Structures are given as structure tokens and as C-alpha cells.
Chain A
């Protein structure tokens, strides 16, 4: 009953701990992790345990189906589909992760400038965001991609330029609300400038938005990369990516007679995107204070 200063302090779980526990209690998210982690490990480590490289040519195996030597078969020039699948996954994931990292940083910075930069900066940035959001994404992407060209770096650039506006809005809304909170006013009262407020208070309190957004956006970026590469605008052969492997299926011969050449990358793409979406949804629920009630 008394609030004596010396009263024992009860240890309870913090909000972060509770979020983590909720995440690990989420079945769909765990299924997602169970699918995604093995894929990730295989993609990262394959050159240590898989015999052939993605661009090695085996002239004895042209368009051959799965065999003990080529588990997932081989393609029209005798390259191992398994090796290309794993290398393609590596490229697709690198493109996705790097472009999401870039767009997350852009989104956070734009949101920060808008919320801390005063009325004029805020108004102009938000009109810019409105504009970016009203551009039809497919057309925007195609135009950008044809300007930037093919290859890993241009693809990363194109994808990262497309996805920051939504995030910057969420960050701005969160920071505007945060700015009025008493503990932020207290920091101002102790002399804190914008950098301190942004990195000591803004960033830690946006971390849930950033993590959830980045996770879901990785899945999105994998799909975007696949779409671009499928159209021949993303990653160009001979470099492998899931998208340009699927590109092979545009030939009816491959589509009908050599299904292993497109089915496996297709399956890998679908599984990975699905798994990451499960994880992202799990994270969102875990961070959502309303789900703390159950």
C-alpha cells in the first residue's frame, strides 16, 4: 500500500520482451521461419556443399531432368538448375534486402524531415510523397528500369525508389505524435537538439514500424525483382536470379517439356515470399499493443 521509496521493485517484462514472446508464440510466423531459415542457410552456404557452380556447363546434360548428379536437372546449355536456383536466390535476396535497406533509410529520413523540419518542409515533402504514391507503380517501374538499365545495381536502385513513400508517411505520423509526448518535451527542456531527439527517441520508437515494414517489403521486393527480370529489365543473364530463371518459361518448349527449369525457381519464389509474409504479419501482431490483450 505504501509507496515507500525503499519498497522492493518488482521485476516485470518490458514491452520489447513481451513483443518477442508474442512473436515466438505465433504459429504462422513460426511456420514462416521454419521455411525461410533453411532456404536462407542453403542460399548462403551452397558453394561449400554443392558440387557445381551456377555457370558451369555440363555438355553431357542438356535439358536433362533431375538425376543423382543434377538433383533439379539442367538447362538448355547444360547448367545445373540447383546451383542456379541457389545462386539466383542469393541474387534475388541481396537485391531485395539492399533495396529495402535503402528505401527504409530514405523513408525514415523523409518522415523525420517532414515531422521536424517545420510547416513548409513538411507540406512540400508530403506533396512529393502524394505525387510518388499516385504514379502508377508498374509504369513508374518500367520507365525507371528502362532508364537505369539491367544489372544488380540498377535493379536495386529502381526497387528502392519505389517503396519509400508509404514508410515515410508512417514514420512522419509516429514522430508527430511522439514530438508532443512528455518524455520528448523533457529532452527538449534539457537542451536536446533535433539529432538527439531523432536518434535517441524517434528511432527507438519507430523500430516496430521499420522492422515490420522492412520484412514485408523484402517479400515485395523479391516479387518486384522477379517481375522485372521476367520482363528482361532486371537481372540479365548469365547472372542467375529467380526472375530470369522464370523468364525461360516464356518459351513453350521449356514450359511444356522441361518443367524442372521453371517449376523449382517458381516454387522457391512462392515459398520464400509466403514465408517472409508470415514472419512480417507475426511481427506486426507482436508489436501491436492491442494484441497484448489476448
Chain B
């Protein structure tokens, strides 16, 4: 059996502007994969390609396969049923819930559409809301979305999606707008439900620590490309790509005040602003001449799939003096 999700050399342009440049990685059944990177790196577009939720003027090459079916090659009619197999959660739940109807109507919508037992759907909704940490589910279901806080509404959203036991959950910054205590709650509860149902997850986030905590594997994106893919533990304890090292090092540590936080100079670049070589070349502290002209192949080095001409040297530790290092101890 192949992977549940497979991106094969996905390239995407909007108008004439390149957004993704050859994205390849996969997600196994039941696996949680974190798509991490800074603003504009192409995380959301990558995730959305799998449901073909792309701008009208987007064009693509390559494939975005779910369960062996390329979302980008489907007819409109088949796209609907394709999307139904995916659970989707975005940053702003209010954009996805009809404000004119009570929460209950949203939760039993699928049952109504498919003509299944509404009473059973209601019971299962109550159970799911409770498991998402909502203590008074009956009262909440009678309320309208505007009566619920963002945190409560996101719990409702996640409950409604996981209720269907989808094989894949697509989650784009689902907790970014929430307070940290709520975020911790929601991640823990949704994680339990997801694992029980064997639902795989593709999680988009800019927070590498958060991704490491809830995902099995991490995909690091920059300028519309994947620069490193490795297990969450490897990314945290021995990142290979210079950009991954920079990302980890620039996160302000909780335990100790630093004289200076090690930084990656400059600002993130979009896919359209990168040259023919390594997209990170303009900011990389260990770039060499060929980096600007020659795109590094993706190679498997020390357990990481990584695109860097100097990956062996990083692994050997000979570049440590020049690369930012995270200060905080890793358990």
C-alpha cells in the first residue's frame, strides 16, 4: 500500500508568479506531518492543493495525491466527493460556520445531507463536544456562533470534522488565534481523538516547537520549496539544514536570557524572489559559490531528507562555529 498523501514535484504559479517550486513529500496513513516555515513560504498553498482550494488563476504541474487520486487532475464533479474524504480546519472558524444557524445545525449538517439518522448524529455531536473540552454541550449547541468565543468555536469546528472520522485532517494554523492555554487544551484533546480514529494529519504551522510536539515528522519549507524532511525528534535534536538550524536558534528560549539571540540575517524570501540555486543562499551563513547557481538535490543524509550542498559538513560538525545553534537544552 502506498502513502495516504503523496506530493510529487508539485509546482504552482499564480498568474505568472511562481509560488511552489517542486514540492515532494508524503504522509502515511495515521501519520501526523507538520508543514513548517515562515510567512509566504508556501505552506498554505501546499495544503490547499490537496483539496484543490486554489485561486482561480493558479496553474500547477506535478501531482497532489490523496489515496492515489490526483486532486489537481480531477473533474469538478469528482472533486466534491474527493473533498468529502478530507477533514479541514483553518485558523478562523467563523469563516467556515454559517452565522445564521445554531451550532447544532452545523454539527448535524453532514447527517442531514446524507439522509442519516439525525438523532444519532446529535448524540455523537454531544459526545465529541464533551471530548473536545466543552462542558455544557447541549447548551452550546443551541447557541449561535457569535455567542461563542473563538476558542470554543474552534473546538466545535474540530469536533465536527473528527466526528466524521476522516482518513486525513488538513489543519492550517488551527490554534494560532487562540490563547496558549486554550491552544494546549485543543491540541491535546484533538490529538487523542485523531489517534483513536486513525486519522492522519497535515498540520501547517510556523511554530517548530509546536509541530514537534504533535507531529511524527516535520517538513520544513522555504521560498516555495521543501528544504528538509525528518522525524520530529531528529529535527529538534539534530537538524541538518542551515535554515532549520536558524529557525530553531531564533526562537527565544524560555529558560535563559541570551546576550544576543542567534539570528538568520535578512528576511524570508518568496519563491518568485529566489534564483536558480538554493533558495536560502542569500541568507545562509555558510553559502558557497555554487549555492547561488546550483539547486541542491534532495538527498538522504543522517536520517534527514535534505537539500543542501554542505549537508555532510553540517552533520560532521565542521560548520558549527558559523551556524546558529539553539541554546536551550533538548530533552
The answer to whether A and B interact is no
